Amino acid sequence: MKRREFIKKSSAGGLLAGGVTTGLISAAPAVHAGTKIKWKMVTTWPKNFPGLGTGANNLARLITEMSGGRLRVKVYGAKELVPAFEVFDAVSRGAAQMGHGAAYYWKGKAPAGQFFAAVPFGMNAQEMNAWLYYGGGEKLWRDLYQRFNVIPAAAGNTGVQMGGWFNREINSVADLKGLKMRIPGLGAEVLKRAGGTPVSLPGGEIYTSLQSGAIDATEWVGPYNDLAFGLYKAAKYYYYPGWHEPGSVLEALVNKKAYEELPKDLQSIVMNACKIVNTDMLAEYTARNNAALHTLISKHKVKLRPFPDDVLKKLAQLSDEVVKEVAAKDKHAQKTYRSFMAFREQVMAWHKVSEQAFLRAREL
């Protein structure tokens, strides 16, 4: 309605201004009245899951709003259209035009995908974005999914996660021996090599497993999501930092054919909406984690503990091995590993004299 009113008003103005302007304006409705396109977005998250699922909702809403409703995106939670781990296939074959998840879920198809999600002791959110947008990372990511007819884009970041909830203290590497911990991805392999027993559990089973003693520890995301899950009721100690997920990137997937069929302006809206959500989610996590951490400590009296340095050093050394083995899986993984590690080394040198130096200076 509003647009129609606007066009009407403009036309009136155009008539006053003369024939040339009127000609331009009479062409405008044809552009605006272009076919309405409907897309489905399947996600690996339960519908409306705080932070991750709501990030997917934001992405769909932004695309719909920014396109003035010309491209409407409807979000489906895990299992609504396809199960979580079939999101990639659904987008690849065009059953859904978009997806939202994380690249480490598809490591069976594309091992190099793990470099675009979470690398233990890898890069934080700011560094990942720098690598993706200005360090060649995004190009490698797109190349990786090309044969699946899928275009990836960063669409969210959790920031540095927490080390997890433990029912026993970790004072030395020896305390990791026999530790049954829910931890996914490359971090799981690292824990295994440190003598622990990684357990794979979906989010919904974490709380009861920790409370019953079926597991000794779990990681999840950070204070915001962990507080909502009530994990503080099932474990005594909350360890930091999340060495295994220093800046997990959430991923938007777009079916290549559906994307190429869009006019240029809608293509730009889709990609820029991903960029907005990528930034917005990190801001949301930073704000909500900081509030939730305060609640966990002041209200629920959670015992916050840093991992001892020698434990972190050992885990870092094992992570090096594990990540190198991912790189050896295929040519693309090798190429991605080299790009990732070269960027990481340089950005570490830069951040040593910028972010890191500033954070230290602020504490003095």
The stretch among 140-148, 166-174, 239-247, 332-340 that binds Ca ion (CB under 5 A) is: 239-247
Which of 216/245 has CB closer to Ca ion?
245
Minimum CB–partner distance for residue 163 and Ca ion (Å): 10
Smallest distance, Å, CB 220 to Ca ion? 6
Residue with tokens 């200005």: 134
x/- mask, Ca ion, residues 22-61, rule CB under 5 A, reads: ----------------------------------------
Query: What's the min distance (Å) between Cβ of 148 and Ca ion?
Result: 25
Tell how strand 249-255 and strand 98-101 pair up: antiparallel
Write down the least CB distance from residue 242 to Ca ion, Å.
7
Residue 127 or 245: the one with the smaller Cβ distance to Ca ion is 245
Residue 245 or 251: which CB sits closer to Ca ion? 245
Nearer to Ca ion (CB atom), residue 42 or residue 188: 188
Q: Which ranges in the chain belong to alpha helices (H)?
A: 2-17, 19-32, 52-66, 87-92, 125-134, 137-145, 185-193, 206-212, 223-229, 256-260, 264-298, 309-327, 331-353, 355-363
Chain-centre distance for alpha carbon 55: 9
Q: CA angle, 13 as apex, 10 and 18 as ends, to 5°?
A: 120
**Stretch of 192-200, 240-248, 273-281, 324-332 contacting Ca ion, by CB under 5 A:** 240-248
Site size for Ca ion, by CB under 5 A? 2
Starting from the edge strand earliest in sequence, which strands make up the sheet with 237-240, in order?
197-199, 180-182, 217-218, 164-166, 237-240, 303-306
Phi, psi of 49 (to 5 degrees): -55, 130
Of residues 56 and 63, the one with the C-beta less far from Ca ion: 56
> At its nearest, how many Å lie between Ca ion and the CB of residue 28?
48
For residues 160-219, which are near Ca ion according to CB under 5 A?
161
Rounded least distance, CB 159 to Ca ion, Å = 11
Closer residue to Ca ion (CB): 197 or 346: 197
- Quick one: which segment of 32-40, 54-62, 171-179, 241-249 binds Ca ion (CB under 5 A)? 241-249
The token duo for 45 is 């998250």
If the CB atoms of residues 64 and 161 are measured against Ca ion, the closer one turns out to be 161
DSSP conformation class of 303 = E
Binding letters toward Ca ion, positions 244-263, x by CB under 5 A: -x------------------
Kindly state the DSSP code that residue 172 receives in the 8-state scheme. S
Is the distance from CB of 73 to CB of 41 less than 8 angstroms?
yes
Q: Binding segment for Ca ion among 37-45, 83-91, 238-246, 339-347 (CB under 5 A)?
A: 238-246
How is 181-238 classified by DSSP, letter by letter?
Answer: EE--HHHHHHHHHTT-EEE---GGGHHHHHHHTS-SEE--S-HHHHHHHTGGGT-SEE
Q: One symbol per residue from 130 to 169: x for binding Ca ion (CB under 5 A), - otherwise; what is it?
A: -------------------------------x--------
Q: Give the C-alpha separation, 130 to 350, whole Å.
A: 12
Tell me which residues touch Ca ion (CB under 5 A): 161, 245
